[in-house]
Amino acid sequence: MRSFVRVLLGLALVFAGTSHLTFARKDFQAQVPEFVPLDTDATVLASGVAEIGLGSALLFAGRRRRRLVGNVAAWFFVAVFPGNLSQWVNRRSAFGLDTDAKRIGRLFGQPLLIAASLWSTRGGTRRRS
């Protein structure tokens, strides 16, 4: 089950990263908080590249590196949380999140992504006979 979640998360990150660079670029710009010192489009492009890299690492990292990759992915999800918060606070519609209820509901998904990053990259406990 851990491998399934890890692969699913990796594929989702690669897809999201690719969408940052292509068809959803404008929607992702709605999430960039004002305090980010970089250009909005540059921030979206950089985060897209980071997501593709993290997703690929989740998919292809060897067992010895998975825990590290899971930690980095979890910290990435922590780092992008202010963007989700900014979208809610500033009432920016993107990705079909066109009401405050939908935007705040999305905030509760971030801890699940963090947990999935950590859980899916940890080895299971082995039972001794």
Domain extents in the chain: 2-119
pLDDT digits (tens, 9 = 90+) for 58-83: 999 999 999 999 999 999 999 999 99
What's the predicted TM-score (pTM) here? 0.88
Is the pLDDT at 129 greater than 60? The verdict is no
Backbone phi, psi, residue 116, to 5° = -65, -40
Distance CA 36, CA 41 (A): 11
Q: Is 9 exposed, middle or buried (0-12, 13-18, 19+ CB in 10 A)?
A: buried
